[in-house]
Amino acid sequence: MKISEEERRNNKLNQDNLVQALRLLRECGYVILEAVLPSDWVEDMCCAYNEEVKRQFVVEQPTGHGGISVPLRMPFLDPLAIENPFAMQILKEAMGDDIFSYFPYGSNTAWPGCGIQHIHRDTGHLFPNEPYVLPISLAVVNMALADFTEENGATEVWPSSHLITDLQHNDSTTLEERAIQLPSIRVIMPAGSVVVRDMRCWHRGMPNQTQVIRPMLALVYFRRFHHLPDDAQTFRQTIPTEVWEQMSQQSQKIYRYNQV
């Protein structure tokens, strides 16, 4: 989707585009908002990301698909990432006002020379034995920090695959066999684009044939009912009080289940 200059200035989709975005998310399993992030913000975030890559991978750079551990500092704590207004507008309409997330959020890098990732879905259906597709309850928001091209490993996605209920597990062999019979697309998009994707959608990382990493932020959001008192202890990070106090009210609401 392309948005208007007025929508950019207001940080808000108009009603027609919101309806279209929700329809795409519901029917295709994802929606792409092209180049909605300010170019200077994307450039600063990309530079910070690249510096963090150098810091975390001093000895040896990975060769596959993976990300960095996002640090507790700016620009990674910027509300434009954590509570992106366009993503929030779509997600709150699709999943309710009480959505939440955990810090640290994720990222994904297609490293130079990486191969083809196995086809997978990030989560299955809530009731795998039922032939019904329930509304979205887990979504990932991806933010492209560079142009996504076929050459640098633009993600491959199977539209509407989140509606398939007869394959419940991430059995890569079964998915590979089934995917041959279904159409897929490459998520080719300019830097600064934002993707909201149903995490049940089939997808895979593709080869990066360039000499430059292809970075992307990945923030996961949940419907309220996904939270249990003792869940997420393995990846939930304690947020220092001084960092928490710098966060906006909405960011604090999003990360309300992290320990402070």
Which pLDDT tens digit goes with each residue over 83-103? 999 999 999 999 999 999 998
CATH number for 5-254: choose from 3.90.79.10, 3.90.226.10, 2.60.120.620, 3.20.20.140.
Answer: 2.60.120.620
Nearest CA among 249, 257, 243, 254 for reference residue 77: 243
Tell me the per-residue pLDDT of 140-184, one tens digit each, with 9 for 90 and over.
999 999 999 999 999 999 999 999 988 755 566 778 888 888 999
Q: How many CB atoms lie within 10 A of CB 135?
A: 11
Taking residues 58-73, what's their average pLDDT?
Answer: 83
* Residue 186: how many other CB atoms lie within 10 Å: 14
Q: What's the pTM?
A: 0.92
**CA–CA distances in Å: residue 198 to residues 75, 157, 183:** 26, 11, 17
What residue has token string 């279904």?
A: 182
Task: Name the strand (E) or helix (H) holding 221.
Answer: strand 214-222
Which residue ranges make up each domain of the chain? 5-254
